[in-house]
Structures are given as C-alpha cells and as structure tokens.
Structure 1
Amino acid sequence: MLTEILNTNEFLKQGKTILYPTDTVWGLGCDATNFEAVSNIYKLKNREESKSLIVLVSSIFMLKKYVSVPNKALEILKNTNKPTTIIYNNPKGFAKNTIAEDKTIAIRIVKDEFCRKLIKRFGKPIVSTSANVSGENTPKSFKEISQPILDGVDYIVNLHQSKENIKSSTILKIVGEDIQVLRA
C-alpha cells in the first residue's frame, strides 16, 4: 500500500488525474486546489462545470482548515459509521471550479485507509467523483469502469481492483438546525 500512496502522491503533486478506490465507489480524483487539474476531471467526465464535485479530506482537523464546521455537522460526523458527505458554506483555499454557484462545497472525511493515508501525505483535499462519463451508470467495481475513463486518467491505483462497492455516500446539507438529506 505504501508504494501506491507514494506513486499516487507524485501524480497529485504534478496536477495529474487519478483513478482510485474510495470508501464508496471507484473515484476520479485530483488536487482539489488546482484549477487546471479539476478542469481535466470535468473534461474526462464530459460534465458541465456548474455541476459540483465531492472533495475528500483525511480528518476533522483538515476539514476545519477549509470550512467553518457547524456543531451539528461535528455531531453527525462523530456519530456515523456510513460514508457521509456534508455540504458546507463559504469554503476557502479550493480551486474555484470545485465550489458550487451558491458558494458551497460537498466534503467527506474519508474512512478508507488508503485514501486517508494518501490525503494525509498529500496534505491537501482531493476531488472524488464517480469513475464514469456523465450520464452513464456509476460503476460498482473496477471491471465496470469504461475504457475512455481508464485511458483518460494519468494514473490508476493498483489496489482493491477486485472489490465491489455498490453504495454512494449519504449527502447532507445543514440549514440552521435542520438537516436536509439530499442523497440517502
């Protein structure tokens, strides 16, 4: 695993795109602070830049460097075992094409050991979006990822390629004291 972390980290530092296993489905990723790298993810997915992406961080400590974390969000994060993405207001330090038009960003503290260690070593958040062309079904395993995606990324992580994940993360938005479930 260490070799894959080191290799992947080098590609991320160079602003390259990666295909990697997450705590949910296989993801396309890059440095979430690099505008050009994020643009390349949108091109690879054939996705409009107005549609936002999820960003992964390694810890609550890293999360707090980029967004103000409401107490309600902290409570949710400390009490969930399921991959949970929360939408935060007014992020700072991200590439502007990771931020939605309403000045929000979707962030998940990743549970997967590889992802957590990779992000910690990289020292910055990384983009995580499903490994498919926009409009196609989300692949549930590595073998379901389409050839244009495989050919289009700069680096493919050689871990967990036989593992099957069928569930995306829950997405929540906190508005005042209310919690809105955007994806269960």
Structure 2
Amino acid sequence: MRFLRYWFVELLRSRGAHSSAVVRPHGTEMCKELKTKVLRLLPPTSNGPSVQHEGHPDGAEVLRHTVKALKEGHVVAVPTDTIYGLACLAQNSEAVAKTYDIKGRNSQKPLAICVGEVQEIYKYCKVKVKEELLNDLLPGPVTLVFERSEVLNADLNPFTSLVGVRIPDHPFMRRLCQMCGEPLALTSANISSHTSTVAVHEFEELWPKLSVVVDGGPIGDQSRLGSTVVDLSALGKYRIIRAGCALSSTVDVLNRKYGLSEEPGED
C-alpha cells in the first residue's frame, strides 16, 4: 500500500512551555507534564521510501501510537489532503465531547466522520446514489452528506439525522481508519472561528490538549478552503453546503456524469 512508502520520525521541539520535555525510548518526544507526542511524517524520496533513522519509530510503530491514543479516548491531530484535522473515535461519546471542548466549537455544529474505504460508508450512512459516484469522488477533498444509520453513535450530532463522511486522499489517514476498525470523528485543527491550518505550528496552542500530533509537513494545496461539502441525502438531487476546494470537479461529476439536479444551498 502507498502508506508503506512513508516513514516516520519524531519532531524534536524544545521551546517555550515545552522546554522541559524528556526523550522517551524509541526517540518519541513527550511533553513532560502533558504527555503530548509530536511525530513527524516524512515523504518518500525521489528514489524510493524515506530512510528510517536509527533509533526512531517506523511507520507501523507511529500508527500504533496513534491508534492506541484514539482507542484510549484521546484526541489527536492529523494531516489530511486539505487541511490539518482533529480526530477521535466517532463511537466514543466522551472523546467527541472532548473534541468540541478543545476547539470551543458550538455544540450545534456537526462533526464529519472519516473512514478508510468506500464500502464502510454503507455501514454508517443510508446511501441513495450509485457506488460508482462514490468511487468517482472518493478518496478526495469532498465530504458527502447522507442520512445516518442507526449504527452510528447517537451522541454524535444528535441534533440532525444527517452526517458528513470523508475518505481523505491521504495514505496515513486511510490506514489509520483501517487500523482503528471504526470511523473517526473529524474536524479542522483550529480554535472555532479561527483560520484553518496547513502546518502544525499554526495550531501549537492546542498541542497541550492533544495526545498525539502527527506532523505531515505543509499541506500541498495551501488554500485553507477545506473539503467541498455536498448533501446527497435526497434522491436524485444534490445541495452544496460548502464550496470548499473541489467545487467545480465535484459538480461536474454530480451534474454532468450522473444527472443529479442542484437544490439551492449555502456556501
């Protein structure tokens, strides 16, 4: 799989409130008081996979650290194909509440879920479009909104019967979801109403509240627009909820290829 071309090493940082950090076995840096692991994702080299640094954790070990943190009910920061995100297990009500607290997010604003494969969408959503449409848009910078199924945690967005679902075009995120075996709740890594982030230092004030921060480097797009959000809960129709970074290509698929008609929406 593509994610195997990625190797991970820790991000050694020592400044400000983090100056008292101690280095743990395997080279994982942890904030002494807050136990925040900050791990760096290295891209593959032009000649193949990045070289693993002696004494530092490899990709499988960093994934294990992140999965362990999620399974223990913590919130982590992760890179996606659009912006940096905060993630927790969607089926864990306490972790979902913690995510809202960390962001200072309005409790009436929904969180999306993130899965690793298209087939998993059918477990948590009631899909009214062709599977070919899903495969045309996902993985990619699009959030598709469907009616939620009864399997999804009732405490996640209890104020609506709908839920947005993502499969980021990012090998680390897809593998993380696969290893967790359940959906992640996903939202942008920033304080609510603040600008979306495309580098980990931009949300450094949130680090003390997170168990793991995965540094994937600057997000390539740099637009900060986030994913295009489209409501597909009505048969034969679509509604754009947020234009995002992939509006034109998304509408082209929905309208021209599959003949869905657009309902008035909001940006």
Normalised to the residue count of structure 2, the TM-score between the two structures is 0.63
- Larger Cα Rg: Structure 1 or Structure 2? 2
Residue of structure 2 in register with 1:79 after alignment = 136
CA displacement 1:96-143 (0-9 Å, x = unmatched): 332352311111123210000011011000011001111111112222
What's the Cα RMSD here? Answer: 1.7
Report how far residue 57 of structure 1 moved: 0.5
Instruction: Determine if contact 1:51/1:100 at 8 Å carries over to the other structure.
Output: no
Tell me, yes or no, if structure 1 residue 98 matches structure 2 residue 156. yes
Matches of 2:90 and 2:195 in 1, distance apart? 24
Q: Which amino acid aligns with 2:235?
A: G
CA displacement 1:40-93 (0-9 Å, x = unmatched): 000001112211011100011211111122224x34322236411111113333
Match of 1:68 among 126, 136, 144: 126
Residue of structure 1 in register with 2:108 after alignment = 50
Q: Any stretches of 5+ residues in structure 1 without a counterpart?
A: none
Describe the SS at the equivalent of 1:96: coil
Instruction: Determine if contact 1:38/1:95 at 8 Å carries over to the other structure.
Output: no
Residue of structure 2 in register with 1:152 after alignment = 209
Q: Which amino acid aligns with 2:145?
A: I
Q: Which amino acid aligns with 2:183?
A: P
Tell me, yes or no, if structure 1 residue 129 matches structure 2 residue 187. yes
- The structure showing larger relative contact order (alpha-carbon pairs under 8 Å, at least 6 residues apart) is 1
Instruction: Determine if contact 1:33/1:93 at 8 Å carries over to the other structure.
Output: no
Describe the SS at the equivalent of 1:97: coil
Distance 1:15 1:130, change over 3 A: same
Describe the SS at the equivalent of 1:28: strand
Q: Any stretches of 5+ residues in structure 2 without a counterpart?
A: 1-58, 244-267
Instruction: Determine if contact 2:114/2:185 at 8 Å carries over to the other structure.
Output: yes
Q: Which amino acid aligns with 1:126?
A: L
Normalised to the residue count of structure 1, the TM-score between the two structures is 0.90
Report how far residue 31 of structure 1 moved: 0.3
Tell me, yes or no, if structure 1 residue 118 matches structure 2 residue 189. no
Tell me, yes or no, if structure 1 residue 176 matches structure 2 residue 232. no
